[in-house]
Structure 1
Amino acid sequence: MAKGKWLRQIIVALLTSVLTVAAAQARIVRIEITSVQSPTFEGKAFGKVGAYEKLRGKAYGEVDPSLPQNALITDLALAPRNARGMVEYSMDIYLLKPLNLRQGNHKLFLEVNNRGSKLFGGLNNSSGGNDPSTAAQAGEGFLMNQGYTLAWNGWDTSAAAGNNNLTISVPVAHHPDGSPITGPAYEYISFENTTTQTFNLAYPAATLDPARATLTVRQRLNDAPTPVPASGWEYASERTIRLLPAGTAFQQSAIYELAYTAKNPVVAGLGFAATRDFVAFLRYAKGDDFGNPNPLASDVRYTFSYALSQPARYLNDFQTLGFNTDEQGRRVLDGMENWLGGGSGIGLNFRFAQPSRTERNRQNHLYPEALFPFAYPVLTDPLTGQTAGRSARCAAAGTCPKVFEINSANEYWVKAASLLHTDLQGNDLPDPANVRFFLISGAQHGTGDANNRGVCQQGQNPTNAEPALRALFVALDRWVTQGSAPPKSQVPRRSEGTAALAVAQPGSLTGSVPAADLGWPSIPGVTYTGLISTRYALDFGPGLSQGLITKYPPTVTGRPVYPSFVSKVDADGNEVAGIRLPIVAAPLATTTGWALRRASFGENEGCEAAGQYLPFPLTPADRAATHDPRRSVQERYRTHAGYVAAVTKATKELVQQRFLLAEDAQKYIQAAEASSVLR
């Protein structure tokens, strides 16, 4: 009897210990489903999977600041704590799941939202927007037809509320005595109009005395900044500045920079823990601490993420900082498809973070977005002396995902995407065992309109990468779930002679790619300067490793840059490396990932995310009249049937290479047949 009592005491002690450990782990403690639409999409059935339902709500999490996995979150130790010593946060959540989970494929597709907005899977070819509900808004249902559960969660502290955006609520950090934290902050300010009179600050100013801040202005990116006197501007409030006299507009396309002392930083890095713990909850938990069931309990066998632009950069740092390992040492995401992340991270895990900012040719310079490491393997940075790699933490934990890093040509020209697959001397690196790299040849950052030039000199680039993204996602799924070897990387390589190296200008924010090195043809009416954004080492002060920026603006002048390159081009000006979709493989124009600004908008400086669409002359006579070095459309294809045959040939090759699905290949052929080319 005594022995039985002793055993019971041991069991109780062990259970108490387990519960204590569980209580100490960062996790979702409560999930609140506030609305259910079942079925959604007007009851539309998706293949053998059937109807879907939509769940919206909030998730409440808490993080233990004392655990090593969380201690690297900037200012977490200075955040308010609950009675259990935990730091709390809450976020919006959104799920689209098969009505009957048994008929789904038991795979979770996490779309990491972009500034709070959903793309509705990104691969569904949908017009669903931020709250898809109708059958038409479901689009082609690419993911639903296969049975994926789609999930979203708030993570971005700068995401605006409203319009069904996903937001996150995180605490403000304070000194231990409760007094406000202050520190250096920075705003890069530029407007493409002549009417804007005010600018809203990301954080409140600690003092409203303009003499305690510095505002400068310059017309061109590499001009020396000119101070705006303290009498020339003022704080309209602690979150707003304006020029004086009142009613003065900011100069169109001029670059203003404000360095000021801010207060009340939010613990923005909790956004990484939020995604980690949400996916881990959906994958592993039965329910929350209050008895609310996990809507996907015991269903999820594999987890994937899809991210475009800002969230792709977020997932780069998510890996670097070790957040793909939950606090029980389990893998969070099995596969990641990152689209348009470039060789960058995101300025999230810093004091006074501004994750909405991203650097391009003439946009948002001097933020801590693109800091070493850039590549996956562990390397030593010759400029800073640091040793690190994106895969270092997950490799140590055995939790690395399989990753497809996919970028447009624009990311190579303005975001140093080549640093993903080179060392710090610009030499090609072998592919990591778990990562492949792909360039979508000639594409800009997203799909442009050839009839709209915006502030650029030429019509924008209409290359649509989504067909390739769908095919690559299928390959990623098979790599993760079946062990099928993925397609080989398709990027410019110096070792293969397809890379054109940027010529850097130390101390400058830009460099150039000489036309002869690129192979650029002299196209009538098109300006080529070779302008490229360079990735340079910035000195933010000694506290950067703790996420503390002590010097604004950071030191740039005289610092060397990291070598980067772009794809060389053929005689038409189209890129030779990467996945050449039919718009490049059977072209009617030159497509570029770079563009230049037009007069009145910083002429000949970089046009940010835009590329160009430069049509070929239609006939030999047109070519001769303009002295265009590129063959005319008629010389290339002879007849309409010849053009259709060229598109058909290109699509068949892409299908064979697994860069295009058969159904998307057929759409290209049908579009070519229906076109007016050479009719």
Structure 2
Amino acid sequence: MKKWFNMDKEVIRHGLKLHLLLLTMAGNYFKHILLTLTRALVVLVGLASLAQARIIRIEITSVQSPTFEGKAFGRVGAYDKLRGKAYGELDPNSPQNALITDIGLAPRNAKGMVEYSMDIYILKPIKLANGNHKLFLEINNRGGKLFGGFNKSSGGNDPTTADQAGEGFLMNMGYTMAWNGWDCSATSANNNLTISVPVAKNTDGSSITGPSYEYIVYDNATALSYSLAYPAATLTKSQATLTVREHLQDTASVIPANEWEYVNERTIRLLPAGTTFRQSAIYEFNYTARDPIVAGVGFAATRDFVSFLRYAIADDFGNPNPLAGDVRYTFSYSLSQPARYVNDFQTLGFNADEQNRRVLDGIENWLGGGSGIGLNVRFAQPSRTERNRQNHLYPEGLFPFAYPVMTDPLSGKTAGRLARCSASNTCPKVFEINSANEYWVKAASLLHTDSKGNDLPDPENVRFFLVSGAQHGTGNGATRGLCQQLQNPTNADPVLRALFVALDEWVTKGTVPPASAVPRQSTGTAVVATPQPGSQTGLISQAALGWPTIPGVAYTGGITTRYLLDFGSSFEKGFITKFPTVVAERPIYVNFVSKVDKDGNELAGIRLPPVAVPTATTTGWALRRAGFGENDGCEGSGQNIPFKTTKAERLSTNDPRLSLQERYETHDGYVKAIQKSVQTLTAQRFLLPEDAQQYIKSAQDSPILR
């Protein structure tokens, strides 16, 4: 038997593939014999892999075949929908897993393994042979699925109808799509994907305790209580602090102990009972929490799920891999929070499975900035995100920000996102795509500079793109929400589709991708932020940016600045041992944004028609309106500030920006300008021909200068 254990696992897998092929050809008698042999080989694979982390069991709990009401997608045909759970085991002593914070203090099964389970979801061609043998893994956002933008569909968190499949961009090309739970803070509501990970305990079985921090803002005047991320270790109020301030730059005031209380170990409220939290005021709560979950298991879960789908024939119990033998290439797509997750996934080396095989071949990250997610720390809160007004003291904006390995002059650390994958030869091809909002509120320029703001050459396997003038996602151009101006409706989906095709061709054919398009110091398109002493934000001066003075539009120049944070002496191990603070000298990481033209539209990056052929000034930043923290940053929102139609209208309001009539003269002039813009973008491979035509049609149908 020892000889069997030491057999090359690839030989065993090829044997399993042959057996599965023969099963489709054999009669019932031979099927019985072959199934017996297959199960025996599965057991041998399991025995040979006992020391390795993997998916040990997969349960498909429901199959809808076909899904999307039987809709067929070109030559690929109809799709199956599979829902279920996957169960995994991690060896806490394995070097690949030992870096997971608190895994050494997690409960173990009889084999000495740490267990977890997660929801899984798969959409695949009914006939896999008709597909393109490529896996599209969407890293879900707080448990939700967001693939609708790719497919020009209504999406939904359990896409089932033909309408929810939309135009089927991914399905028409034959991709199999998969999702798995990874976010320990996600709930199961609305078909969200969840993961179950263990709670860490001290070696004597007692609860682990430590400092935890909550940033609390309610943009309403009705909130009566707040739910804590972790239970309080003690309800003694003297061991906790609640503060409040109206604006980000105000000095926080401590709320006396007789003006708040614990409702229970997971909830606080203001006193007297019935007192509401002040609308849009910033509350912060420091307290001692207990029972941290081993949140970093979420990285291993994705690694092992993709590895299983790509390389396995069956699980340890003989349950078949629904994609066995099919997957040749793997890609991930992430939007916002999960893009930051993928940043850390790379930095921590999870793109190599425990047999040092590449997990993801291509990564498209959208709206991740240069940030991580703070998942691999004690008392993690991965649902949080830092922006110019929120969550400044979470472990998100930490070195390394960039891909190349370098030494950080502020912390003295040497690191880079490429360090671990370079050592294991498992680096993926990566597109880091960000909106203007990420440059203004998440310091995205640090992705492609050193800590002092100097440009870095692109790594061989990474390209960087700014979608000029866009906010964090697509805004409603007809409403302003909490902000002073209308939100920015610039839609980046056409760019994301085109770049995903370019990424696929880079990975599968070696086709050289489009060149990076971001602000650079070397091209004169970068405007460096100036730190403000005693402030949590920096400043972009109006003159340096080139921002026009637009009547009725406020400009403060506030921008997120990355400071060196202090989480205590044990933070290298993922342990936060003190309430987080900014290092006293306030050393900063230099960051910048794109300069703007005379209209206020950004010069650098991918200038989609709303920027290249504008009808308004579009920005990635915005300011909160009165009653909601006026003039503080409006987080993920941008602005849409329309041009006047005629010269007389703009002169009557002293608007320095040319009117629509002065720019394009007629409706046909506007349409021709759009046509020229999309021709350029298509040639640069930033637009697909079908999306280019849609821009032209929208311009033709628009009321502009009619």
Aligned to 1:421: 448
State the SS of the aligned residue for 1:143. Answer: helix
Contact 1:120 1:132 in 2 (8 A): no
Hey, what's the Cα distance between the residues in 1 that align with 2:47 and 2:323?
25
Deviations 1:71-128 (A, max 9, x none): 0000000000000000000000000000000000000000000000001364112112
Q: CA offset at residue 307 of structure 1? A: 0.2
The one of 338, 354, 360 equivalent to 1:311 is 338
Hey, what's the Cα distance between the residues in 2 that align with 1:555 and 1:594?
24
Q: CA offset at residue 232 of structure 1? A: 0.9
Aligned pairs (5 A) from 1:358-377: 358-377=385-404
Aligned to 2:622: 595
Aligned to 2:160: 133
Aligned to 2:3: 11
The one of 514, 524, 531 equivalent to 2:551 is 524
The one of 40, 44, 68 equivalent to 2:95 is 68
Letter in 2 for 1:538: L
Aligned to 2:580: 553
Letter in 1 for 2:182: W
Aligned pairs (5 A) from 1:414-453: 414-453=441-480
Q: CA offset at residue 529 of structure 1? A: 1.0
Hey, what's the Cα distance between the residues in 1 that align with 2:320 and 2:102?
32
1:503 aligns with 2:530: yes
Contact 1:507 1:556 in 2 (8 A): no
Hey, what's the Cα distance between the residues in 2 that align with 1:82 and 1:98?
37
Report the number of matched residues. Answer: 671
Aligned to 1:623: 650
Q: CA offset at residue 184 of structure 1? A: 0.5
1:641 aligns with 2:664: no
Q: CA offset at residue 507 of structure 1? A: 4.2
Hey, what's the Cα distance between the residues in 2 that align with 1:13 and 1:165?
39
Deviations 1:219-258 (A, max 9, x none): 1112221111111111001100000000000111111111
The one of 159, 162, 172 equivalent to 2:186 is 159
Aligned CA distance change for structure 1 residues 23 and 13 (closer, same or farther; 3 Å): closer
Aligned to 1:50: 77
Aligned to 1:655: 682
Q: CA offset at residue 556 of structure 1? A: 4.3
Aligned pairs (5 A) from 1:215-254: 215-254=242-281
Letter in 2 for 1:11: K
Aligned to 2:329: 302
Deviations 1:429-462 (A, max 9, x none): 0000000000000000000012111110000000
Contact 1:506 1:558 in 2 (8 A): no
Aligned to 2:432: 405
Q: CA offset at residue 628 of structure 1? A: 0.9
Hey, what's the Cα distance between the residues in 1 that align with 2:383 and 2:584?
26
Aligned CA distance change for structure 1 residues 10 and 580 (closer, same or farther; 3 Å): closer
Q: CA offset at residue 498 of structure 1? A: 0.4
Aligned CA distance change for structure 1 residues 122 and 288 (closer, same or farther; 3 Å): farther
Aligned to 2:39: none
Aligned CA distance change for structure 1 residues 675 and 65 (closer, same or farther; 3 Å): same
Aligned CA distance change for structure 1 residues 556 and 255 (closer, same or farther; 3 Å): farther
Aligned pairs (5 A) from 1:114-513: 114-120=141-147, 122-513=149-540
Contact 1:596 1:605 in 2 (8 A): yes
Contact 1:539 1:555 in 2 (8 A): yes
Aligned to 1:563: 590
Contact 1:408 1:593 in 2 (8 A): yes
Structure 1: state its 5+ residue gaps. Answer: 1-8
Contact 1:121 1:143 in 2 (8 A): no
Letter in 1 for 2:288: T
Aligned to 1:3: none
State the SS of the aligned residue for 2:212. Answer: strand
Hey, what's the Cα distance between the residues in 2 that align with 1:655 and 1:11?
57
Q: CA offset at residue 14 of structure 1? A: 3.8
Letter in 1 for 2:481: G
State the SS of the aligned residue for 2:59. Answer: strand
Hey, what's the Cα distance between the residues in 2 that align with 1:17 and 1:560?
56
Q: CA offset at residue 17 of structure 1? A: 10
Deviations 1:607-637 (A, max 9, x none): 0000000001110101110111111000000
Contact 1:507 1:560 in 2 (8 A): no
State the SS of the aligned residue for 1:577. Answer: coil
Aligned CA distance change for structure 1 residues 321 and 197 (closer, same or farther; 3 Å): same
Hey, what's the Cα distance between the residues in 2 that align with 1:178 and 1:11?
40
Contact 2:245 2:252 in 1 (8 A): yes
Hey, what's the Cα distance between the residues in 2 that align with 1:649 and 1:486?
22
Give me the identity figure in percent: 73
Contact 1:361 1:414 in 2 (8 A): yes
The one of 115, 125, 128 equivalent to 1:101 is 128
Contact 2:6 2:48 in 1 (8 A): no
State the SS of the aligned residue for 2:144. Answer: coil
State the SS of the aligned residue for 2:121. Answer: strand
Hey, what's the Cα distance between the residues in 2 that align with 1:518 and 1:157?
41
Deviations 1:306-338 (A, max 9, x none): 000000000000000000000000000000000
State the SS of the aligned residue for 1:361. Answer: coil
State the SS of the aligned residue for 1:525. Answer: coil
Q: CA offset at residue 472 of structure 1? A: 0.2
State the SS of the aligned residue for 1:123. Answer: helix
Hey, what's the Cα distance between the residues in 1 that align with 2:46 and 2:299?
25
Contact 2:439 2:445 in 1 (8 A): yes
Hey, what's the Cα distance between the residues in 1 that align with 2:466 and 2:594?
9
Letter in 1 for 2:3: I
1:59 aligns with 2:86: yes
Contact 1:592 1:612 in 2 (8 A): yes
Aligned to 1:4: none
**What TM-score comes out, normalization by structure 1 length?**
0.98
Hey, what's the Cα distance between the residues in 1 that align with 2:580 and 2:523?
39
RMSD of Structure 2 on Structure 1 (CA):
1.2
Deviations 1:161-205 (A, max 9, x none): 121000000010001111011110010001111110100000000
Letter in 2 for 1:658: R
Hey, what's the Cα distance between the residues in 2 that align with 1:169 and 1:494?
45
Hey, what's the Cα distance between the residues in 1 that align with 2:52 and 2:411?
35
Letter in 2 for 1:648: Q
Q: CA offset at residue 20 of structure 1? A: 5.1
Hey, what's the Cα distance between the residues in 1 that align with 2:687 and 2:325?
33
Q: CA offset at residue 19 of structure 1? A: 5.7
Q: CA offset at residue 305 of structure 1? A: 0.2
Q: CA offset at residue 18 of structure 1? A: 7.7
Hey, what's the Cα distance between the residues in 1 that align with 2:549 and 2:78?
55
Contact 1:61 1:89 in 2 (8 A): yes
Deviations 1:582-618 (A, max 9, x none): 0111110000000001111111110000000000111
Aligned to 2:16: none
**What TM-score comes out, normalization by structure 2 length?**
0.94
Letter in 2 for 1:198: S
Hey, what's the Cα distance between the residues in 2 that align with 1:506 and 1:21?
60
